[in-house]
Structures are given as structure tokens and as C-alpha cells.
Amino acid sequence: MRIDAVITWVDGSDPAHQARLADTLRALGMQRPATAAPTRFGDCGELDYCLASIVRYAPWFHTLHIVTDGQRPSLLATLAGTPWQDRVRIVDHAELFAGHERHLPTFNSRSIISMLWRTPGIAERFVYFNDDFALLRAVAPEDFFREDGGIVLRGKWRPQSGRRWTRRVAEALKRLRGEPADRAGNHVAQEMGARLAGFEDRYYRLYHNPFPFHRSTLEAWFAAHPAALESNIAHRFRSSRQFKTESLATHLEIARGTAVLDNSLRSVTLKPSEQQPWRLRRKLAQADRDPAFAFGCVQSLDVADEGVRATLVEWLERRVGSLRDALAVFRGEA
């Protein structure tokens, strides 16, 4: 079965990107929100590891689509003259948002992910990678899609927050203190996606790892609910009114019986901006010991101090290596 990969990428240091961001903020009359902090657009070479991991550990992907906004990663020159030269293509936001160009430029990953299924020529089955994802070991097509059409999802069932008294109390205390409610959070947006698919009492909270989609699932649902698509992509920056399309797709697949809930493969998420060095080292050691850890995500490598960054880069080099190294392995030269 043909399976494609879609990778979202941005280079926040690009002057053209910075100018578009500044112009958009000025036009909207708003300050730069925390959801558009520079670290969210920083590029520390994560794309190199993402691509290298796919070439090394999942060369069965048919086409790799890199979604960008008027940018082209320089590392693609490494692919010239290799079998991967024609298997990696750049997809501009303008292609995804064809017919919806009024919502561009966008600096909102939730809006972009809502449109990935519109990638020209995308396979019916595709896997979404953020550029800071990497595979840590060999994976097979069946780790994402089963031959009978089932899509493999990783997460756990949780009650909707409106059904949890602890959440209701916490929100009431925030209101009493005059604090804004965290309505743009990941879990809240997942809950919204679940409710759109008819899951009012609980939702399947997704783990942070590469996510498989059936293109036709979203194409059919958004064709029947065009206002929902229009509303979700209208926000240039992340909004509390947005749902996560990954969650919507998850619950649509569960509802129609085409989902396989399987947590046999695990993901390690590394956050040097939030996690203490000792905790990061413990997580790295755990991922090295346990072969079930197939996915890794290093968030905001740009904000790590020099020592932590060196540790994380050394680990990525050891577990994945560079794209040039992966190509040599692919060609049987290493």
C-alpha cells in the first residue's frame, strides 16, 4: 500500500518570514502572542534528523511532502543525484489553501494541519510529522496502517473535562482570581475535535508522535461541514476556538470502526525549556534501553543551554545521524 509522509517546517530566522509575521501582527493590531513565540518557528537542524530518520528507518514511504511558506530547506541539495531526489517535494501553503488564500499568511499549525489532506497528489494513507519528530528505530507500514484498512492510533481514553468536577473547580477558581482560562491548550482542542465526531463524554487523548491519516476521511467530513473547516483555518494564530484536526480524524475513524488502538510503540518527548537536565538524561536512557521507543520529539532545541543542547544533539547523532549518513546507508555505502 502506498503511504506518504507530510512534514511541516518553517525557518523562523528567514527575514521574509519575519517580515510577513510583523506585517500580519500590525494589520491585526495585536502583540505577538505566546503561541507565536520565536522558539515555535526556530530551526536548529531538526528537519535534517526528521528526514534522515525516515530514509534510514522507513524507506518504504513513497513521497515525502515538506510543507512550507515560501521557503526551501537548504539540506535538500543533499538529495541531488540520489534516489530520493524525486521522492521529496516542497508544498507551499498557497497550494494547501487554494481557494482559501484570504487566510494567508498563517502562523498557526492547527490551521495548517487542518489542510494537509489537500496536499496535491497526496496518497490516501499518509503520516504527519512535525519537523521536530524523528524515528528512533525501524518501523513498518503496519505500525501506522493495517492491511484491512485499520488506522493505528496511540493514546488513552479520558473523560471530557466538562465531565470532571476537578476541572470545573479549577476553572471556577481561575475566574475568581481573574485569570484567563487555558482554552487554547492541546487537550482542550483534542476534546473539541472529539465532540465534533459525536463523543460528548470522553475522548481518546492522543500521544505526541507521528500521526496517520486517511485522506478521504477528512475530505468527506469537511465536504459535509465546510463551515467547520472555514472556521478552523481562519485564525492566523492559535485560538481557543480551534479544534485539533488529528483528534477529529481519530474519533471519526473510531466511530466507523476503522481504528486500531495500539500502544505497543512509544514516544519520548524532550522539552529542554521545561525539563531539568537530570530528567532529560533519564528520559534518554530509558529510550535507549527500551526498544518500544520508536519515536522521539525534541521541542525548542533552540532554547536549551549549551550543555543540554550538546547532549541532545549527540543523542540524535547516535540514534539517527545526518541525512547524508542515512543516504549512505540507503545506498549500501555504510
pLDDT in tens, 188-231: 999 999 999 999 999 999 999 999 999 999 999 999 999 999 99
d(CA 131, CA 43): 9
Cα angle 84, 77, 113; round to 5 = 70
Q: Give residue 265's pLDDT.
A: 98
The Cα–Cα gap between 66 and 73 comes to: 9
Instruction: Indicate the pTM of the whole model.
Output: 0.92
pLDDT at 73: 94
| C-beta separation of 262 from 132 below 8 A | no
List, for residues 50-90, the tens digit of each pLDDT value.
Answer: 999 999 999 999 999 999 999 999 999 999 999 999 999 99
- Say what the pLDDT of residue 132 is: 93
Q: Which residues of the chain have pLDDT under 50?
A: none
Look at residue 174 in the predicted model and tell me its pLDDT.
Answer: 63
Residue type, 324: R
Distance CA 286, CA 157 (A): 25
The span from the CA of 3 to the CA of 149, in Å, is: 12
Question: What pLDDT score was predicted for residue 44?
Answer: 73
Query: Can you tell me the distance from the alpha carbon of 232 to that of 318, in angstroms, rounded to the nearest whole number?
Result: 39
